[in-house]
Amino acid sequence: MTLTIVQAGDPVLRKKGRALSKDEIRSPQIQQLIELMREAMRDAPGVGLAAPQIGESIQLAVIEDRAEYLGDLSADQLAKYQRTVIPFHVIINPKLTVVDDSSAVFFEGCLSVTGFSAVVDRALNVRVECLNERGEEVTINAQGWYARILQHEIDHLNGILYIDRMKTRTLTTAENMYRFWRNKSISKVLADFSSS
């Protein structure tokens, strides 16, 4: 069975997902859904996938930033984004806390807003308290790109898309983001967009 990733405009993306009980989490249905979501995320490919994106209005997301996704990035880019490999894991019923006032602006895309990208300001340091795929309580302390992924996926669980948080003048097709903006600093991107 292959999952279909729903696109912006589908009402499920604008609803807050319902929390799952520990019994539900351990059920064969949810365990199978987790595996199908892992496959769909990898096939896309993406670094995160929330249940509402496949039409399920529940508080569940899968996350993974694989080594092969980092191969095109220079050491400087990896350091600037604070991006490292993130092993596959599941977050359920997450509660997000922003740890401090530090933030960063970078381009963000979404599997449910195919073909577009925009600059989004996100907290650099977050703590997430959630349940894992076994229904166990977990606390995640994340920085940089990992913190961005968590915020993006938790937004999905609450009916929020990155386009709600984007700097609107920076909206671009993914093709044009790579063509014109990929190797420019975000401050240069923002200056170019604001002067247009």
Rounded to a whole number, what is the distance in angstroms from the first to the last CA of the chain? Answer: 47
CA dist 97 and 100 (Å) reads 9
190 inside domain: yes
CATH of the domain at 84: 3.90.45.10
Quick one: pLDDT at residue 129?
Answer: 98
> How many distinct structural domains can be found in the chain?
1
169 inside domain: yes
Quick one: pLDDT at residue 196?
Answer: 53
Q: Which residues of 75-86 are buried (b: 16+ CB within 10 A; e: fewer)?
A: eeeeebbbbeeb
CA dist 86 and 65 (Å) reads 5
13 Cβ contact list (under 8 Å, min separation 6): 6, 52, 53, 112, 156, 159, 161
4 inside domain: no
pLDDT per position in the chain (196 positions), as tens?
Answer: 789 999 999 999 999 999 999 999 999 999 999 999 999 999 999 999 999 999 999 999 999 999 999 988 889 989 988 999 999 999 999 999 999 999 999 999 999 999 999 999 999 999 999 999 999 999 999 999 999 999 999 999 999 999 999 999 999 999 999 899 888 888 888 898 886 5
154 inside domain: yes
6 inside domain: no
Quick one: pLDDT at residue 73?
Answer: 87
**Residue 123: domain span:** 11-194
Q: Check residue 90 and report its DSSP letter.
A: E
Respond yes or no: is residue 39 known to be catalytic: no
3 inside domain: no
Q: Per the residue annotation, which of 56, 108, 133, 153 is the catalytic one?
A: 153
Quick one: pLDDT at residue 35?
Answer: 98
32 inside domain: yes
21 inside domain: yes
Does the global pTM surpass 0.85? yes
